[in-house]
């Protein structure tokens, strides 16, 4: 049907983010913004490699991670297709999280941290959190997992 | 990843048959057609020259040189064409080495010099077959071309031989006749190939080939060739026919006394015969003072001896020379192939 | 199936009195793009020449494609080598190069080669000497890939190319790796692009292997600790590869994982490939070898024992 994928990947080599993670993030971002809908095909590994000159294993790794997250599914011989939209977190939970975050920001401000400092601290902590989790997104909590089990 | 199915077994690998040597036919041609073409062009140009001038020479010889000792012959033939023939013959001595050096030296030297051996020796055919598949056809081609050219050279020299102006054994023409010309060309090629492999640069390899060949050719012409078969010795004043005179000397009582025209001879003659031995002859307006030494020394018991190679030995000598040059060529090419095999950068 | 495309044991190569490569033991797994990095003169070309069969070892052994002797018929058949400066015959046209390579090998995919050259805009009739540097490199790569090798070895393939040519070249290499499962070993002394391209790393310095392993594993087993310079000398929890000091602050590249404890007052960050490589290159004595994956024979013999 459609000749290619709706999205096209790009690379930011200076961002410090590993290549495969950039691809994962771009897919998730595209899902959030509606560029990708369930049923759409992700760019073929070969095409990504040809346009970005990156290692095919990297692309496969990114697609595998997305698959584990339940966002895509690979059809052997055909490609990788979007399976689900990004999970919608339940509203009460979102509100609660937001409130906690505002509280943290106030505390940080009181301790004398400026906004750049807050961002730096948050980014550093996020990185640690990501690594401790093994960076695979294996352990998923909350509505996403439940949703996945419902579909299965 | 698309699972890489790469067999780890040795069985399949061990049974990989080598690519046939004839695969090298096109590569050898394509890469060396320029050199071969140049050889053909040069030989062709020289051939045209030899053919045109040779026709004139044949005509003159046929017309004026029967008998060969006539004055007409020396005016219209030997006087007119003799010097040219000498110069041409000497120039032609360079042909084998030029062909051999310019075809042989670049074969390996260019590959090593430009780095393309890193492509050639990593192809599936392997470096051995690649080398052999190039060297053998080239060697055969230059040798065959030289062999064909010899026919023309023999034809060119034939009137001078017939008129007694030059003998086939003469250093000037021996290398142009029979199998020698082709054999020398092959040897030059083999020297060039080995030089190219060892020196790894085309121009120095060509220079080295010229130098080595020159040394070999001079050594052969001046020293080795006369020793292929032990020369005959005669006490007659003039060796028979168009024999190749090697040297002359005087002996007394079975023992060597002194060489012909040597200082020893001159002092002996002066001592024994004194001034009476001088005799003046006028020849063609010039004055030559001839020492009538032979008569004088003969009276005092000296025997004049001459060593020579009879004309009948011309072909045996050709085969001997061709034979050892062929053996040398094979040895040098084998050494080159051994070096290719061994040379691991 | 664990096959090693290049396996070396105690491999060494000497030129005259100088050892260009020493005590090199590694096992490069199939199905990867391996980057061989190191400064000039480190022995990269020597190692690749040994693997390609252009050189023979002075010490130790090297085998390719799962145990085949380097330089043997089977090795030559399965390996395509593109040497530094991508040598091609200058007076041969591209079409001639295709025909030549087809004649010299068992397998050659001429339609693929022609299609690639057409895509790249390289005219078949022009002599290779008249092509640009990038086009010559692409031509050399094309004939190498058209041989359908199991292993492609590239010696500093892009050092002479401008950025666009470099990108196109690597894109083609990566596509071949993706589409045809070709294992790739490429050497470079330019570190910047390697993280995108390589998933196996060999770091060579002064003729010896400093680092050899999967890029993910190597990066996951190193951390950059940042903390007070005063405490830097007394840090002993994990092996320190390289230290950089300011007056007050120091950065220590240590061999540690994400789960390892960080001394109080210190911060831990992951390390990028370029930074890690530079650190090792600055410390010739430092070595990080997870140990080469054993060949199946070695594993079997252990089981029996």
**How confident is the model over B195-211, as pLDDT tens digits?**
999 999 999 999 999 99
How high is the pLDDT of residue B7?
41
Contact criterion met (CB < 8 Å) for A128 and C171? no
Residues C175-179, mean pLDDT to the nearest whole number: 87
> In this complex, is the C-beta atom of C179 within 8 Å of any C-beta atom belonging to chain A?
yes
Label residues C11-37 b or e (16+ Cβ within 10 Å = b): bbbeeeeebbbbebebbbbbbbbbbbb
| Residue among C85, C103, C95, C156 at smallest CA distance from B123 | C103
- Maximum alpha-carbon separation in chain B: 110
Asked if the model's pLDDT at residue C97 lies above 80, the reply is yes
Residues C27-54, mean pLDDT to the nearest whole number: 91
pLDDT class of B263 with cuts at 50, 70, 90: confident
Secondary structure (3-state) at C208: strand
| pLDDT 10s digits, B65-87 | 877 677 888 888 888 888 889 99
pLDDT class of C82 with cuts at 50, 70, 90: very high
For residues C62 and B3, which has the higher predicted lDDT (pLDDT)? C62
Contact criterion met (CB < 8 Å) for C77 and B8? no
For the CA atoms of B266, B270, B272, B274, the dihedral, rounded to the nearest 10 degrees, stands at 150
Vertex B58, ends B57 and B63: CA angle to 5°? 100
Residue owning tokens 């002194």: B258
Report whether C174 contacts A56 (CB < 8 A): yes
Q: Which domains occur in chain A, in start order?
A: 19-82 (1.10.10.10), 91-151 (no CATH)
pLDDT class of B251 with cuts at 50, 70, 90: confident
> In this complex, is the C-beta atom of C258 within 8 Å of any C-beta atom belonging to chain A?
yes
| pLDDT 10s digits, B291-301 | 577 777 777 78
Asked if the model's pLDDT at residue B284 lies above 50, the reply is yes
Asked if the model's pLDDT at residue B277 lies above 80, the reply is no
| pLDDT 10s digits, C133-175 | 889 999 999 999 999 999 999 999 888 788 888 888 899 999 9
Asked if the model's pLDDT at residue C265 lies above 60, the reply is yes
Asked if the model's pLDDT at residue C251 lies above 60, the reply is yes
| pLDDT 10s digits, B210-226 | 999 999 999 999 999 98
**Token couple for C245:** 């000091």
Asked if the model's pLDDT at residue B287 lies above 70, the reply is no
- Which region among A129-133, B126-130, B317-321 has the lowest average model confidence (pLDDT)? A129-133
Which helix (H) or strand (E) element contains residue B51? helix B25-64
Percent of chain C's residues with pLDDT above 90: 48
Here the ipTM equals 0.88
Asked if the model's pLDDT at residue A138 lies above 50, the reply is no
Q: Which residues does C262 contact at the CB level (< 8 Å), separation at least 6? A: C225, C268
Which chain C residues touch B14 with a CB distance below 8 Å? Answer: 74
Chain C 106-135, residues with CB within 8 Å of chain B CB atoms: 106-107
How high is the pLDDT of residue B14?
57
Secondary structure (3-state) at A12: coil
| Residue among C159, C214, C202, C245 at smallest CA distance from C51 | C202
Q: What is the pTM of this model?
A: 0.82
> Could you give the CA distance from residue B166 to residue B311 in angstroms, rounded to a whole number?
12
Contacting C with CB below 8 Å, chain A residues are 11, 13, 16, 18-19, 45-46, 49-59, 124, 127-128, 131-132
Can you give the residue ranges of every domain in chain B? 21-227+312-342, 232-309
How high is the pLDDT of residue B38?
93
B to C CB pairs, distance under 8 Å: 117
CATH of C4-216, one of 3.30.70.20, 3.50.50.60, 3.40.50.300, 3.40.50.2020: 3.40.50.300
Contact criterion met (CB < 8 Å) for C100 and B30? yes
**Exposure of C189 by Cβ count < 10 A (0-12 exposed, 13-18 middle, 19+ buried)?**
middle
How high is the pLDDT of residue C1?
52
Residues B21-35, mean pLDDT to the nearest whole number: 93
> Could you give the CA distance from residue A31 to residue A36 in angstroms, rounded to a whole number?
5
Which helix (H) or strand (E) element contains residue C73? helix C73-78
How high is the pLDDT of residue A143?
38
Secondary structure (3-state) at B279: strand
Contact criterion met (CB < 8 Å) for C197 and A53? yes
Can you give the residue ranges of every domain in chain C? 4-216, 223-270
pLDDT class of B344 with cuts at 50, 70, 90: low
**Token couple for C181:** 């499962």
| pLDDT 10s digits, A48-72 | 999 999 999 999 999 999 999 888 9
Interhelix angle B314-342/B127-162, rounded to 10 degrees, is 160
Contact criterion met (CB < 8 Å) for B23 and C67? no
Tally Cβ neighbours within 10 Å of residue C139. Answer: 24
| Residue among B164, B101, B85, B154 at smallest CA distance from B318 | B154
| pLDDT 10s digits, C11-26 | 999 998 999 998 899 8
Strand order in the sheet with C4-15: C18-29, C4-15, C59-64, C68-69
> Could you give the CA distance from residue A120 to residue C294 in angstroms, rounded to a whole number?
43
Residue owning tokens 């998933």: C199
Report whether C51 contacts C75 (CB < 8 A): no
How high is the pLDDT of residue B73?
82
Phi, psi (degrees; rounded to nearest 5) at A102: -60, -35
> In this complex, is the C-beta atom of B344 within 8 Å of any C-beta atom belonging to chain C?
yes
Answer whether the bond into residue B67 is a cis peptide, omega within 30°. yes
pLDDT class of C246 with cuts at 50, 70, 90: confident
**Token couple for A105:** 């920001």
Report whether C279 contacts C240 (CB < 8 A): no
Q: What is the mean pLDDT of chain B?
A: 86
Asked if the model's pLDDT at residue B6 lies above 50, the reply is no
DSSP letters spanning A65-119:
HHHHTTSEEEETTTEEEE--PPPPPPHHHHHHHHHHHHHHHHHHHHHT--HHHHH
CA-based nearest distance A126→chain B, Å: 31
**Exposure of C145 by Cβ count < 10 A (0-12 exposed, 13-18 middle, 19+ buried)?**
buried
Asked if the model's pLDDT at residue A114 lies above 50, the reply is yes
Vertex B195, ends B194 and B196: CA angle to 5°? 90
Report whether A68 contacts A138 (CB < 8 A): yes
Asked if the model's pLDDT at residue B153 lies above 50, the reply is yes
pLDDT class of C83 with cuts at 50, 70, 90: very high
Phi, psi (degrees; rounded to nearest 5) at C103: -70, -30
């Amino acid at each position: 049907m459609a000749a290619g994928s709706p999205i096209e990947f790009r690379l930011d080599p200076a961002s410090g983010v590993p290549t495969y993670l950039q691809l994962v993030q771009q897919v998730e971002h595209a899902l959030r913004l509606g560029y990708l809908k369930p049923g759409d095909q992700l760019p073929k590994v070969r095409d990504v490699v040809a346009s970005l000159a990156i290692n095919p294993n990297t692309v496969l790794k990114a697609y595998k991670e997305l698959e584990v997250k339940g966002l895509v599914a690979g059809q052997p011989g055909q490609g990788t297709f979007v399976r689900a939209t990004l999970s919608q977190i339940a509203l009460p939970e979102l509100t609660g999280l937001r409130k906690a975050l505002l509280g943290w920001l106030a505390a940080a401000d009181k301790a004398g941290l400026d906004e750049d400092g807050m961002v730096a601290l948050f980014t550093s902590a996020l990185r640690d959190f990501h690594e401790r989790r093994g960076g695979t997104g294996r352990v998923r909590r909350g509505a996403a997992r439940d949703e996945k089990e419902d579909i299965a | 990843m698309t699972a890489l199915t790469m067999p780890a077994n040795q069985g399949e690998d061990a049974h990989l048959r080598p690519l046939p040597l004839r695969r090298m036919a096109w590569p050898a041609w394509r890469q060396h057609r320029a050199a071969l073409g140049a050889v053909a062009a040069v030989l062709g140009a020289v051939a045209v020259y030899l053919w045109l001038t040779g026709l004139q020479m044949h005509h003159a010889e046929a017309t004026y040189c029967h008998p060969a000792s006539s004055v007409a012959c020396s005016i219209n033939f030997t006087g007119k064409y003799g010097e040219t023939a000498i110069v041409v013959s000497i120039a032609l001595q360079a042909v084998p080495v030029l062909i051999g050096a310019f075809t042989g030296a670049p074969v390996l030297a260019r590959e090593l010099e430009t780095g393309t051996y890193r492509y050639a020796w990593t192809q599936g055919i392997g470096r051995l077959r690649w080398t052999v598949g190039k060297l053998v056809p080239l060697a055969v081609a230059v040798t065959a071309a030289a062999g064909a050219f010899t026919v023309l050279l023999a034809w060119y020299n034939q009137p001078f031989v017939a008129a007694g102006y030059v003998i086939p054994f003469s250093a000037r023409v021996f290398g142009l006749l029979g199998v020698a010309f082709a054999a020398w060309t092959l040897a030059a090629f083999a020297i060039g190939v080995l030089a190219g492999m060892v020196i790894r640069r085309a121009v120095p390899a060509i220079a080295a080939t010229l130098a080595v060949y020159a040394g070999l050719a001079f050594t052969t012409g001046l020293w080795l060739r006369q020793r292929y078969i032990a020369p005959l010795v005669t006490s007659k004043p003039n060796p028979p026919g168009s024999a190749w005179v090697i040297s002359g000397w005087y002996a007394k009582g079975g023992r060597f006394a002194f060489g012909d025209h040597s200082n020893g001879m001159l002092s002996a003659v002066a001592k024994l015969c004194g001034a009476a031995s001088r005799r003046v002859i006028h020849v063609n307006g010039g004055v030559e003072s001839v020492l009538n030494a032979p008569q004088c020394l003969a009276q005092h018991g000296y025997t004049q001896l001459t060593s020579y190679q009879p004309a009948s030995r011309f072909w045996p000598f050709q085969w001997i020379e061709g034979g050892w040059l062929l053996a040398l060529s094979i040895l040098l090419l084998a050494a080159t192939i051994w070096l290719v095999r061994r040379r691991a950068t | 199936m664990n096959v090693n495309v290049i396996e070396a044991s105690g491999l060494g190569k000497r030129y005259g009195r100088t050892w260009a490569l020493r005590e090199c033991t590694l096992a490069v797994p199939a199905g990867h793009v391996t980057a061989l990095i190191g400064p000039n003169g480190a022995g990269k070309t020597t190692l690749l020449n040994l693997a390609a069969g252009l050189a023979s070892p002075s010490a130790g052994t090297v085998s390719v494609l799962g145990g085949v002797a380097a330089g043997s018929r089977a090795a030559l058949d399965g390996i395509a080598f593109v040497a530094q400066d991508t040598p091609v015959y200058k007076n041969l046209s591209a079409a001639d190069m295709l025909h030549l390579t087809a004649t010299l090998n068992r397998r050659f995919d001429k339609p693929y080669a022609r299609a690639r050259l057409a895509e790249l805009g390289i005219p078949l009739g022009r002599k290779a000497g008249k092509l640009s540097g990038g086009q010559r490199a692409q031509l050399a790569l094309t004939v190498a890939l058209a041989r359908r090798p199991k292993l492609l070895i590239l010696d500093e393939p892009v050092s002479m190319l401008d950025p666009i040519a470099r990108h196109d070249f690597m894109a083609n290499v990566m596509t071949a790796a993706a589409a045809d499962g070709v294992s790739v070993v490429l050497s470079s002394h330019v570190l910047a692009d390697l993280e995108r391209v390589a998933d196996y790393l060999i770091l060579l310095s002064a003729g010896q292997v400093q680092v050899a392993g999967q890029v993910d594993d190597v990066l996951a087993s190193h951390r950059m600790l940042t903390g007070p310079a005063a405490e830097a000398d007394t840090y002993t929890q994990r092996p320190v590869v390289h230290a950089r000091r300011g007056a007050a602050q120091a950065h220590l590249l240590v061999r540690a994982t994400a789960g390892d404890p960080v001394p109080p007052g210190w911060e831990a960050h992951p390390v990028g490939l370029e930074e890690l490589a530079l650190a090792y290159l600055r410390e010739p004595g430092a070595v990080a070898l997870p140990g080469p994956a054993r060949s199946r024979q070695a594993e079997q013999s252990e089981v029996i024992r």
